[in-house]
Amino acid sequence: MGHTIHDIRHNTTRARHLYHRAQLDRFAVGAFNIDTQETLVAVAKAAQKLQAPAIVEVSSREAQVLGLENVRMMVDNYKKEYNVELYLNLDHSPSVDMCKRAIDIGYEFIHIDISQADHQASDSEIIAKTREVVHYASFTGALVESEPHYFHGASNVYNQAINYDEVRKTFSTPAGAKAFVEATGIDTFAAAVGNLHGRYAAPKVLDLALLGQIAQAVDCAISLHGGSGTPLHFFKDAAKLGVRKININSDLRYAYRTTLEKVLREHPQEYAIISLMPEVYAAVQAVIEEKMAAFGSAGKAAP
């Protein structure tokens, strides 16, 4: 059953209130990608245990597999079952049409990322399409996020070290961030300050001084993508500097797969996979709880 426009606007208003609370209390909200129902269960259980708000998110690929509408219904069901503060984000969508569909369905957060599909997209094209989504989202109140350039990496596990000489070439700048926010009217700016998609052999290093300068330059929320593999102290400092949303994906996938491989080895005669999943849930949930604690969001759920 779909949401009415009244329901959608109520939920997006709560999402905006969450950002306001996060700004006042200096915490960041965890945005956790799901590509299985088990990961969604882990997010809901962690949110319940720690009384933390959370954003469930799906990339365009994950949405194509699971279905935009199906994910909306699952999040609603677990939100009610566990009595938790959950929201839904379409993550890194390269398609304006998909963003509009998600807005219509009632996603509270929308990330339009034109450069994801076309790394050579022009500034004018990125700005125009981002503005189109911002304008469309004004009807429901959904919060729109974007960035002016391609974001490094992919949500996977890598054995190589990070080539920061290359990554620094795409760092955000205070002036560039300010100009992009003013040109598009977005609610959230996705900053690049050493964070990048994926989990690597060496821990990531965030340029907190640059992040602080960007926070001073823009009049909107800031998000950090590619949070996996980042030492937790960076998250605590980032939240104090103004980051309101931090994305985690690869760390969840790593915990899921390695734990599943372990239980499969330990139970070679078990073919009812659902019987093997409790340990997998628990491993993913432990990662989520660790991040929530570092983000400062534990105990911050709205009644």
pLDDT (tens digit per residue) in 151-197? 766 777 888 778 888 888 889 999 999 999 999 999 999 999 999 88
pLDDT digits (tens, 9 = 90+) for 15-62: 999 999 999 999 999 999 999 999 999 999 999 999 999 999 999 999
- pLDDT at residue 270 greater than cutoff 90: yes
Tokens describing residue 58:
């799906």
- pLDDT at residue 303 greater than cutoff 90: no
What does the buried/exposed string (b/e) look like for 265-294 if buried means 16 or more CB atoms within 10 Å of the residue's CB? eeeeeeeeeeebbeebbebbbebbbebbbb
Distance CA 275, CA 49 (A): 23
What average pLDDT is seen over the chain? 94
- pLDDT at residue 100 greater than cutoff 80: yes
Distance CA 288, CA 54 (A): 10
Q: How many CA atoms lie within 13 A of 135 on its CB side?
A: 9
Of 3 and 50, the one with more pLDDT: 50
Mean pLDDT of all residues in 85-95: 97
- pLDDT at residue 109 greater than cutoff 90: yes
Mean pLDDT of all residues in 123-139: 97
Tokens describing residue 290:
């660790």
pLDDT attached to residue 57 = 98
- Identify which of 103, 57, 59, 56 has the alpha carbon closest to the alpha carbon of residue 84: 56
pLDDT attached to residue 297 = 98
pLDDT attached to residue 149 = 81
Could you tell me the pLDDT band of residue 300, with boundaries at 50, 70 and 90? very high
- Identify which of 294, 290, 288 has the alpha carbon closest to the alpha carbon of residue 86: 288
Residue with tokens 């329901």: 7
Return phi, psi of residue 297, to 5°: -90, -10
pLDDT digits (tens, 9 = 90+) for 225-252: 999 999 999 999 999 999 999 999 999 9
Mean pLDDT of all residues in 105-115: 96
Tokens describing residue 140:
């429901």
pLDDT attached to residue 154 = 74
pLDDT attached to residue 1 = 58
pLDDT attached to residue 165 = 82
pLDDT attached to residue 150 = 72
Could you tell me the pLDDT band of residue 116, with boundaries at 50, 70 and 90? confident
Residue with tokens 């509270």: 108
Neighbours of 124 (CB within 10 A): 9
Distance CA 42, CA 274 (A): 14
Tell me the three-class secondary structure of the chain, residue by residue.
CCCCHHHHHHHHHHHHHHHHHHHHHCCCEEEEECCCHHHHHHHHHHHHHHCCCEEEEEEHHHHHHHCHHHHHHHHHHHHHHHCCCEEEEEEEECCHHHHHHHHHHCCCEEEECHHHHCCCCCHHHHHHHHHHHHHHHCCCCCEEEECCCCCCEEEEECCCCCCHHHHHHHCCCHHHHHHHHHHHCCCEEEECCCCCEEECCCCCCCCHHHHHHHHHHCCCEEEECCCCCCCHHHHHHHHHHCEEEEEECHHHHHHHHHHHHHHHHHCCCCCCHHHHHHHHHHHHHHHHHHHHHHHCCCCCCCC
